[in-house]
Amino acid sequence: MSTTDIQINRNGRLAAIIGVVAAVVAVAFFVRHHGALDLVLGVVLLGIAGYQLFSAWDARTPLLVADDLGVRVRLGRVWQGIPWKELDEVEHLPRRSWWRDGRLVLLPEDDAAQLAALPASGRRQATITQKLYGAPFVVPLGLATVVAGGSRDLSSRLADLAGEDTTIVEIDPEIDPEIDTGVDGVDSGVGDESWSDEGPEPTRPIARESARDPFTDTAERPLLSASPTPTPLREPTVAVRSEVTRDFSTMGANALKLDQVDPVGSDDETHTGLPEADELRRPSFGGLPGEADGVTPIARPGEPVEPLVIEDLGPTPAPEPVIGPELAAARTRIGLTVDQLADRTRIRPHVIEAIEVDDFGPCGGDFYARGHLRTLARVLGVDAAPLLEHYSASYADAPIDARRVFEAELATGAGGPIRRMKGGPNWSVLAAAVMAIVLAWSVARLVLDGSATTPPPAPSLGSGSAGTGNPYGKLAPAVPVTITAAGGGTEVVVRDAGGDVVFSGSLAFGESKTLRASPPVRIQASDGSATVAVDGGKAAAVGKTGEAAQQTYTVN
């Protein structure tokens, strides 16, 4: 990220502290509970801890990134980019105190076009934001958020990035936003009494201040006074006739007319042609450019027009590609096309084609290139570690540039009117206050309550046969087990009832492996989409697609 870019993140440190404290208190409630109320409080605190720890983890991804191309805002897990030219206005309400939040509101020229480009989850998040703050694209500025570089000069930094394309407005925190205003936030003044024009001209009270052209309103409205009564009669004036004679050149196409005729009633006016009229009327010139006989049409009705061909920018192959050919060979081996692989990995086809020739420019940075390599290796059944090691040694060069990544995905919109920002509740302060009260009450309850009764020790098993090392006793007869990589390449480990590893290896997409093992059979897979059929039974997935999972199978 450039030093001039603006990035807003969640306050990960504060969320982590609150989450850890809430988790500790929740565990204390579970350990020393005396009734149902303690269990309920423990569950509530555990939920608060989970939410705060998730917020701390989510703080790694920005909520908003602004550069000289536009603004990219995150709605849940969905990004929406808006160029500066498509933003009508950006309103910045600074944070007034530690307990009063501010906010940054993006007002596109056409909200409907921006919302239509969002998926369903993004529209739901925008609807919630609309109900809370009165606009779909709002980022709160409070205890729960952090602005990179500080928020003191945020309006000026936004104005520098926006240039002349977008108006940056800084809302004065001292002005009540519910005051009835006229155009551009100025008091309409309906019903005000008039005052004398004598004295300094009053300055209109401005309800908000633009960061691009800041000013301070220091003038005061003068005292009201009665205006002088106008006389009912007008002062007499004397009419004077002036004789005017004009001599001017005839302009436009009329200057080329050889038969100049004076208009009726203009005997005192003299019309002269253009000095270059003779040069323009030369026979060898072939007429003026605007005349019909000198026009060469580009195309005529009914005749085909040669299409305009724009050369596509293809990938740039590396001199000696290593990573791409291995991925291309794996894709060809399992019989997938580039489009089919793109559908399975959610990676654009042109990015896959570029990766297959070791051109990682379309990936957008080292972070995304490594992620694409991991995804392709998982689906194609290739070990990702050597690929990543070779990429780090040969192609990794610079940190991620947010501007480069977001440049190709900025959205578009149309025009619209200026809207007012709706004041919403300070949710971060409200949540912090509720959690502080709950934590304080919980700690006080734990301290004041007596120590819980120590539970009696669990009876120990009597001395007897030590048994065998196998927890299941004698092994059952081995049965056939069939494992299929149905959703992508996967790493599989199979253990029998004795805990011995029967099989450990990789399966490519669509590959099957049949073996014999004593039930119950425990199977671990790096991709939960792998299916397992035991003793001829119905095949079932180990877990969720793309996630590591394990299951224990028995014979019905």
Arithmetic mean of pLDDT over the chain: 73
252-294: per-residue pLDDT in tens?
555 555 555 454 444 545 555 556 555 555 554 444 444 455 5
Phi, psi for residue 93 in degrees, rounded to 5: -100, 105
DSSP 97: B
* 493 band by pLDDT with thresholds 50, 70 and 90: very high
Cα–Cα distance measured from residue 480 to residue 497, given in angstroms and rounded to the nearest whole number: 14
Locate all alpha helices (DSSP H) within 242-288, ordered by sequence: 277-280
* 242 band by pLDDT with thresholds 50, 70 and 90: low
pLDDT of residue 192: 45
- How does 408-447 read in b/e, with b if 16+ C-beta sit within 10 Å? eebbebeeeeeeebeebebebbebbeebeebbeebeebee
Q: Does position 74 have pLDDT exceeding 90, yes or no?
A: yes
pLDDT of residue 415: 39
Cβ atoms 108, 82 nearer than 8 A: yes
Q: Does position 357 have pLDDT exceeding 80, yes or no?
A: yes
pLDDT of residue 246: 56
List strand residue ranges (DSSP E) for 229-350, in order. Answer: 247-249, 270-272
pLDDT of residue 427: 61
199-216: per-residue pLDDT in tens?
444 444 444 444 444 444
pLDDT of residue 31: 83
Query: 507 - beta bridge partners?
Result: 490
Q: Does position 96 have pLDDT exceeding 50, yes or no?
A: yes
* Helix, strand, coil percentages, rounded to 5, for the chain: 30, 20, 50
Helix or strand run (H / E) with residue 51: helix 36-58
DSSP 227: P
Q: Does position 229 have pLDDT exceeding 50, yes or no?
A: yes
DSSP 86: G
Q: Does position 33 have pLDDT exceeding 80, yes or no?
A: no
pLDDT mean over 83-112: 85
Most confident stretch, 38-52, 142-156, 401-415: 38-52
pLDDT of residue 412: 36
pLDDT of residue 213: 46
Q: 405: exposed, middle or buried (C-beta count within 10 Å: 0-12, 13-18, 19+)?
A: middle
Tally of residues, the chain: 556
295 vs 431, residue with greater confidence: 431
* 64 band by pLDDT with thresholds 50, 70 and 90: very high
The structural domains of the chain, ordered by start, are 1-187+205-215+404-448 (no CATH), 323-358+365-400 (1.10.260.40), 479-553 (2.60.40)
Judge if pTM exceeds 0.75: no
- Of the listed ranges 111-115, 385-389, 453-457, 527-531, the one predicted with least confidence: 453-457
141-192: per-residue pLDDT in tens?
888 888 887 767 888 888 888 888 888 888 776 554 444 444 444 444 444 4
Name the one residue in this structure whose structure tokens are 């001039």.
4
Phi, psi for residue 158 in degrees, rounded to 5: -65, -40
What share of the chain in percent tops pLDDT 90? 8
Query: 248 - beta bridge partners?
Result: 271
Taking the CA atoms of residue 289, residue 294, residue 299 and residue 300 in that order, the dihedral angle to the nearest 10 degrees is 130
pLDDT of residue 5: 84
Tell me if residue 185 falls in helix, strand or coil.
helix
- Of the listed ranges 183-187, 424-428, 533-537, the one predicted with least confidence: 183-187
345 vs 151, residue with greater confidence: 345
Cα–Cα distance measured from residue 553 to residue 549, given in angstroms and rounded to the nearest whole number: 13
Q: Does position 451 have pLDDT exceeding 50, yes or no?
A: no
- Of the listed ranges 27-36, 252-261, 434-443, the one predicted with least confidence: 252-261
Helix or strand run (H / E) with residue 533: strand 531-534
